[in-house]
Amino acid sequence: MDEKLGIRHLSFVIYSPSLQSPIKTFSPMHTSPKTLTEFDTSLPSIRQVQNLIKQTAVVDFKLVTGDLLTGRVIWQDPNCVCIVDENSQQTTVWKQAIAYIKPKS
């Protein structure tokens, strides 16, 4: 946990050919704006997460570890999404670690 920023980071490394992403990865700390990758908005998953951000919907994130996280999605990049829970705690989750995203009823 980064105490100064109040952000908890979850890191998962999954090695599986079926989870390879065609989106070019980058390191946000060492990237100039010229080399950032654009979102492919033709992908339904990108549009779905953007809609969840706009709607400020509360969602369940089931992770491949079996953990369940609940909160609102506040941003996404090509590799991660960030959710904030009812206590204003932000959690950054690698997209590869997500089994599914389900809006709360």
Which residue would you say has higher pLDDT here, 8 or 99?
99
- pTM check: above 0.75: no
For residues 85 and 40, what is the distance between their CA atoms, to the nearest angstrom?
27
For residues 34 and 19, what is the distance between their CA atoms, to the nearest angstrom?
27
SS3 content of the chain, % helix, strand, coil (to 5): 25, 35, 45
Lowest-pLDDT choice from 3-12, 37-46, 81-90: 3-12
Instruction: Mention the CATH class of domain 1-11+41-105.
Output: mainly beta
Phi and psi at 14, nearest 5°, equal -120, 120
Which residue has 């989106």 as its token pair? 23
DSSP characters for 15-33? --GGG--SSPP--GGG--G
pLDDT at 39: 72
Domain residue extents for the chain: 1-11+41-105
